[in-house]
Amino acid sequence: MRALRRAALHGDAALPYPGTMLQPPDHPSGQAPGASRPVHVIGGGLAGSEAAWQVAQRGVPVVLHEMRPIRPTGVHRGGDLAELVCSNSLRSDDAETNAVGVIHREMRAMGSLILAQADAHQVPAGGALAVDRDGFSAAVTAAIAAHPRITLSREEVIGLPPVGWDSVIVATGPLTAPALAEALRGLTGEDDLAFFDAIAPVVHRDSIDMSKAWLQSRYDKAGPGGSGADYINCPLSREQYEHFVDALLAAECVASEHDAATPYFNGCLPIEVMAERGGDTLRYGPMKPVGLTNPHDPTVKPRAVVQLRQDNALGTLFNMVGFQTKMKHGAQMAVLRTIPGLENASFARLGGIHRNTFLNSPKVLDERLRLRAEPRLRFAGQITGCEGYVESAAIGLIAGRLAAAERLGEDFAMPPWTTAVGALINHVTGGHVATLDAGPASFQPMNVNFGLFPPIDEPLIGEGGKRLRGPEKGVARKRAMSRRAQRDLAGWLSMQAELPTAAASIAAE
């Protein structure tokens, strides 16, 4: 029967990237022992909130432990769950040619709390899914607090969880408290891995000079909830751009004792680090001028453009896209005010930098995200070595379903590697190269991308049987991977629905 289910899931039993059937012990009575005991989730960020929601939605009680606001962190602002510390964007919502859009689609299909609230609190952002960060976090907090099977405990879990907690999801994020991080090092025998992450500034909309700036999305792309004019654009001439780069390189930055040994995550490089890599790096990165026309001077192509994206539903705050920085606050205000349109900018929040910690997951976690040294501990979110809001929440979603299935004594098949969430989990738990040329371990935080997906076997042929080349072939490959992921996720979800469930009987008790 299980073999038939696998074949039904993939459409071809010979597919070389099958889901993994996870088999619990047999329970002749049909009821898993201890199914009424709670699952404990430590950390109320995106991954922890999603994990708790998934456990509870399957009829299993859960205690969600969040130390804020009793014990604040250096980067969070309040006590709401699922607070967005960095950007307010969940990135591209294009499920046809972008792997992030594919994982959005998959999470919606799996009943994600995070995606549901993101959709409910979206703000215009071109082709991206961006949210009103305060409204989003408040809504997630309210949903968690109102769920009858979730207990929200505002306390810090110091060190390892009590032995009596036999099912724990650790979703403490990259800012794991020192006591717990030290306890994990003791269990794994591994030094923690780390990278630096940075935060971009947020500007008050009414302080931007719109006689120099203008509203436009790149290539006029509207995206979800957008109009095609969703970003504020500040143009720089060659002279202005070169002056900005010089000022950036001369600015005083925050020093850290970890600077020499700890790398930056490439997806969130500080702008001054990018500038150090070459004078044109920024204008081929976050300041690229392509797809934009300045209505104040339409015949002149800007050398570079700074984009700001709406940060709240009121449209009163805009964040500087890709402008993560480690400049000291005084230097930030001086340098950023050299940008045309931002001469009198008022900042609601200045940028900053923090050190993120993650596990060497392929070595210390098993395929079910459990700690090999102590399997009662399962991990989710950025601490596993994924990067990005939706990636963290997606792993939290699967961790929650795994914990609930174990508690209920049910079978659970991991998502196929051909799906976005399956490919991401495969990378985290072992789909990487252990070493490169006898050098250091290569496992590093990564966003979901099509490079994590298995190759496409079907030929990529255009209209009229035309053989595709170059960019056309790349786009066709992404579309084919997206179609395959959608098909295989539907098969996996159908198989999950066929499996016997104890949740309904527990809910009826």
Q: Which residue has the tokens 């001077």?
A: 297
Tell me, what's the pLDDT at 278? Answer: 93
With 70 as the cut, is the pLDDT of residue 478 above it? yes
What distance in Å separates the CA atoms of residue 177 and residue 185, rounded to the nearest whole number? 12
Average pLDDT over residues 58-82: 82
Counting DSSP H helices and E strands in the chain, the numbers are 14, 19
* Winning range, highest mean pLDDT, from 84-88, 401-405, 476-480: 401-405
Decide: 106 and 489 in contact? Cβ < 8 Å: yes
More confident of the two residues 59 and 33: 59
pLDDT in tens, 104-125: 999 999 999 999 999 999 999 9
Q: Mean pLDDT of all residues in the chain?
A: 83
Q: Are 342 and 350 in contact (CB under 8 A)?
A: no
Return d(Cα 258, Cα 260) in angstroms, integer.
Answer: 6
Residue 375: how many other CB atoms lie within 10 Å: 14
Could you read off the pLDDT of 16-44 as tens digits, one per residue?
A: 223 333 333 333 334 444 568 999 999 99
Token couple for 145: 């607090």
Distance in angstroms (rounded) separating the CA atoms of residues 490 and 416? 11
Is residue 114 within 8 A of residue 141, CB to CB? The reply is no
pLDDT for 283-322, tens place per residue?
999 999 999 999 999 999 999 999 998 887 778 889 899 8
Nearest to 489 by CA among 162, 10, 2: 10
Query: pLDDT-based confidence at 471, cuts 50/70/90?
Result: confident
Helices 99-109 and 470-498: crossing angle in degrees, nearest 10, is 20
DSSP 8-state code for residue 51: H
pLDDT at 264: 60
pLDDT number for residue 452 = 85
State the residue for tokens 């102590």: 374
Q: pLDDT by residue (tens digit) across 372-404?
A: 999 999 999 989 988 889 999 999 999 999 999
Question: pTM for the full model?
Answer: 0.70
Q: Return the residue matching tokens 């070459």.
A: 278
Give the span between the Cα atoms of 153 and 139, in whole angstroms: 18
* Distance set, CA 471 to CA 137, 175, 376, 463 (Å): 39, 40, 47, 15
Helix axes 133-146, 113-120, angle to 10 degrees: 130
397-451 confidence digits (pLDDT tens): 999 999 999 999 998 999 999 999 999 998 888 865 443 333 344 466 778 888 8
Token digits of residue 263: 């790398």
Indicate the range of 119-133, 250-264, 281-295 predicted with least confidence: 250-264
pLDDT in tens, 146-174: 999 999 999 888 889 999 999 999 998 87
Mean pLDDT score, 261-276: 74
DSSP-assigned letters across all residues of 489-507: HHHHHHHHHHS--SHHHHH
**For residues 171 and 199, what is the distance between their CA atoms, to the nearest angstrom?**
21
Q: Please name each of the domains of the chain with its CATH number.
A: 17-23+33-192+359-507 (3.50.50.60), 198-356 (2.40.30.260)
- Three-state DSSP class for residue 64: strand
Q: What is the pLDDT of residues 196-246, one digit of tens each?
A: 666 788 899 989 999 999 999 999 888 776 788 889 999 999 999 999 999
- Position of tokens 């969600």? 64
CB burial readout 306-336, b (16+ within 10 A) else e: bbbbbbbbeeebbbbbbbbbbbeeebbbebb
Question: pLDDT digit string (tens) for 170-208?
Answer: 998 877 777 887 888 888 776 555 656 667 888 999 899
Distance CA(57)–CA(39), nearest Å, equals 12
Nearest 10 degrees: CA dihedral of 62, 65, 68, 71?
170
Instruction: Give me the sheet containing 214-215, strands edge to edge.
Output: 214-215, 231-236, 304-310, 317-320, 202-204, 347-349
Tell me the β-bridge partners of 214. Answer: 233
The whole-number pLDDT of residue 454 equals 86
Is-cis flag, bond preceding 72, omega within 30?
Answer: no
